[in-house]
Structure 1
């Protein structure tokens, strides 16, 4: 895989995460208002937040992998050692 394809894949993952996060926030706000006004309980909100939240976290980890952070730290330490 060349660098351009890898960059496109990463950008697509970040866009997917951001879109999913915005939808998550908007829909959960609407459900919270409905729960406050009509249901007087938050079981529906908790259910949606939990299960949809798992998907949002999964998208986050795909968009911003932890190994990239590790690689950046390694490169930073290597540059310090070279000075």
Structure 2
């Protein structure tokens, strides 16, 4: 499933994660895969604690980081699609 701007996403409950300094490390308990995120990806992950639309997520992040909205949306959708493919987030 590919996400679009109207999709709502949230962490998958099968993922255990913690903050280490300003980064997130996580384990998907269903498949045993371990991940770590850089500071920007970790910032995005923290925003997925409760359901949020991709459009709202992008709007919030564009405001916080003052980036070009069009390219940021495309990058964000690709990142979220990757998280979905790895069973780290779910659409709700």
Per the normalisation by structure 1, the TM-score is 0.32
Between structures 1 and 2, the one with greater strand share: 2
Between structures 1 and 2, the one with greater helix share: 1
> Which has the greater radius of gyration?
1
